[in-house]
């Protein structure tokens, strides 16, 4: 693991790191914020999965999460959203290829060679984090934005017992019924019968989440029709899922929205992680 940068941040350290991934077959970059408490021993961790077109850097610099993580003594991990490089398959569209890994493992060419973001995010990177950082892996929570909200919700429900809590900002939560999902799943997986359990609404109907959940979506979100918020809210209520689904009046899909409610989400996760 190579250290790209480390900066003092709210008494802790905001670092950026690079390593060679066996899952993606590429170099992968990720960021970790370690609070001051990590000097004395392992701390809980919150994963933040970013959305379409993003890298590790977007949420690291725009979400304002470190302020509240430092206050709560919690580490934050910001993975990248896809493999990258000149030899990695890509597409001219912003919502397919590099920057659009959708946190799934592709099986169709040309994507199957490198696009293994489920394996990378759910298995390989956690193992590296456990080895290299003072983090208590028995106390993990997860959040994400848009495509990253999709990843956070599906991982939380598909990996029972892994996470203490899950939240999301404007998540893509019914991708099998949306152009933000059907297009990518068809490209990465081919035939619809092979798409697997990577739809948060379907997972909520069948599995739910054994813990608290917090979902925020803005009523002025310019991508509302692509998110599936109404279908997920209905499944959430029908499952009697513990948690809150909130529609925030006037907010859109941007990081201004995320930073407005980041304190709420950090406090929500801290309550579960420190319980």
CATH code of the domain in which 25 resides = 3.40.50.1820
> Does residue 43 contact residue 100 with C-beta atoms inside 8 Å?
no
The residue behind tokens 């970059």 is 29
* pLDDT tens digit sequence for 196-239: 789 999 999 999 999 999 999 999 999 999 999 999 999 999 99
Domain count, the chain: 1
C-alpha closest to that of 166 among 46, 31, 55: 46
221 is catalytic: yes
Residue in 56, 145, 198, 253 annotated catalytic:
253
The pLDDT of residue 99 is: 98
Distances 136 to 13, 119, 264 between C-alpha atoms, Å = 17, 21, 22
269 is catalytic: no
Residue in 146, 165, 167, 178 annotated catalytic:
146
> Does residue 148 contact residue 55 with C-beta atoms inside 8 Å?
no
The pLDDT of residue 191 is: 87
DSSP one-letter code for 93: S
Mean pLDDT value across the chain: 97
Which secondary structure element, helix H or strand E, spans residue 203, and what is its range?
Answer: helix 200-206
Distances 101 to 35, 140, 267 between C-alpha atoms, Å = 29, 22, 29
Helix, coil or strand: residue 96 = coil
The pLDDT of residue 228 is: 97
DSSP one-letter code for 114: T
Structural domain boundaries enclosing 257 = 2-273
The pLDDT of residue 30 is: 98
Helix, coil or strand: residue 116 = strand
How many other CB atoms are there within 10 angstroms of residue 177's CB atom?
Answer: 13
Q: Per residue of the chain (275 residues), what is the pLDDT tens digit?
A: 999 999 999 999 999 999 999 999 999 999 999 999 999 999 999 999 999 999 999 999 999 999 999 999 999 999 999 999 999 999 999 999 999 999 999 999 999 999 999 999 999 999 999 999 999 999 999 999 999 999 999 999 999 999 999 999 999 999 999 999 999 999 999 988 878 789 999 999 999 999 999 999 999 999 999 999 999 999 999 999 999 999 999 999 999 999 999 999 999 999 999 98
Q: From CA 214, how far away is CA 224, in angstroms rounded? A: 18
95 is catalytic: no
Q: From CA 82, how far away is CA 84, in angstroms rounded? A: 6
Q: From CA 205, how far away is CA 43, in angstroms rounded? A: 33
Q: Which residues of 50-64 are buried (b: 16+ CB within 10 A; e: fewer)?
A: bbbebbbebbbebbb
Radius of gyration (Cα) for the chain, nearest Å? Answer: 17
Q: From CA 110, how far away is CA 148, in angstroms rounded? A: 23
C-alpha closest to that of 61 among 117, 9, 103: 9
Residue in 56, 221, 265, 269 annotated catalytic:
221
Longest Cα–Cα distance of the chain, Å, equals: 51
């Amino acid at each position: 693991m190579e250290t790209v940068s480390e900066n003092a941040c709210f008494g802790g350290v905001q670092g950026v790191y690079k390593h060679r991934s066996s899952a993606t077959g590429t170099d992968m970059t990720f960021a970790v914020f370690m609070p001051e408490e990590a000097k004395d021993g392992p701390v809980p961790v919150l994963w933040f999965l970013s959305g379409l077109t993003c890298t590790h850097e977007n949420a690291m610099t725009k979400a304002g999460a470190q302020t509240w993580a430092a206050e709560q003594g919690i580490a934050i991990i910001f993975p990248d959203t896809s493999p990258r490089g000149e030899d990695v398959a890509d597409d001219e569209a912003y919502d397919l290829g590099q920057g659009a890994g959708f946190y799934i493992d592709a099986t169709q060419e040309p994507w199957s060679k490198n696009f293994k973001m489920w394996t990378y995010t759910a298995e390989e990177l956690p193992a590296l984090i456990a080895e290299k950082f003072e983090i208590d892996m028995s106390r993990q929570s997860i959040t994400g934005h848009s495509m990253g909200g999709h990843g956070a919700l599906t991982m939380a429900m598909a990996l029972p017992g892994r996470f203490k809590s899950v939240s999301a900002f404007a998540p893509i939560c019914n991708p099998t019924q949306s152009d933000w999902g059907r297009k990518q799943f068809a490209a990465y997986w081919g035939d619809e019968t092979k798409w697997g359990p990577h739809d948060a609404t379907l997972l909520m109907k069948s599995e739910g989440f054994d813990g608290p959940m917090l979902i925020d979506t803005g009523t002025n979100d310019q991508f509302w029709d692509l998110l599936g918020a109404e279908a997920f809210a209905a499944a959430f209520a029908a499952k009697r899922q513990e948690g809150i689904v909130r529609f925030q009046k006037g907010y859109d899909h941007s990081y201004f929205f995320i930073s407005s409610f980041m304190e709420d989400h950090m406090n929500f996760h801290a309550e579960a992680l420190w319980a």
